[in-house]
Structure 1
Amino acid sequence: MLAREPEQAHQAARAHVDSVRQSLAEIEQEEQRLVRATLRLEGWV
């Protein structure tokens, strides 16, 4: 596929990278939410 369809392969790779980037951003947001919730439960906030 890569040799015959370089543009299609590039688009697929770009879509994959964008998907991974979005997933990491969501994980980081969830981590921050959990940290804030933990601080509230422990009486720090």
Structure 2
Amino acid sequence: MISMILPDYYEFCCRVKLVAGHDALEKIPDLLAERGAKKPLIITDKGVAG
């Protein structure tokens, strides 16, 4: 059993865009350019490599 002490109040707000699917990799450069992204965080797994 894991015991946790939770705070009385917790809030997490994060504006993100999730992109998934077979054509997602092709769309990334355009999506980043549209947003002027300088340091994107891209999370992937070994399944993307094919």
TM-score when scaled to structure 1? 0.27
| Bigger proportion of residues as helix | 1
TM-score when scaled to structure 2? 0.26
